[in-house]
Amino acid sequence: DADVTQTPRNRITKTGKRIMLECSQTKGHDRMYWYRQDPGLGLRLIYYSFDVKDINKGEISDGYSVSRQAQAKFSLSLESAIPNQTALYFCATSWTAVDTQYFGPGTRLTVL
């Protein structure tokens, strides 16, 4: 079984809809991250969490919110989706900020 799982893997939605992407991990890591990946722009950090009570904004947090329900679960929400949020979204985990990041398989989100 995969250490980092993401659901759904693919999602098509309409402008204005609320969307939640979920991430679960079995690695026991405290640190979890949400990135979006766009062609030509690389991986950009949306939010990160050091533990259940510590949530931090990344470089592109506007339009997104997160919830760390447990050590193993970190959800990303788009309150009112817009077309320029169409992207590939990755969740990742790590022991510390400088250690290996373990990525999930990604969620491809399309906002029409």
Partner 1 sequence: TQLLEQSPQFLSIQEGENLTVYCNSSSVFSSLQWYRQEPGEGPVLLVTVVTGGEVKKLKRLTFQFGDARKDSSLHITAAQPGDTGLYLCAGVTGANSKLTFGKGITLSVRP
Can you give the binding site for partner 1, defined by CB under 8 A?
4, 35, 40-45, 48, 90, 92, 96-98, 100-101, 103-106
- Residue closer to partner 1 by CB (options 17, 86) is 86
What are the b/e assignments for 11-44, b being 16+ CB within 10 Å? Answer: bebeeeeebebbbbbeeebebbbbbbeeeeeeee
- Residue closer to partner 1 by CB (options 17, 45) is 45
Residue 36 CB, nearest approach to partner 1 (Å): 12
- Residue closer to partner 1 by CB (options 12, 97) is 97
Task: Classify residue 101 by its DSSP letter.
Answer: P
Residue 40 CB, nearest approach to partner 1 (Å): 7
Residue 41 CB, nearest approach to partner 1 (Å): 7
Q: Are 107 and 17 contacting, i.e. CB atoms less than 8 angstroms apart? A: no
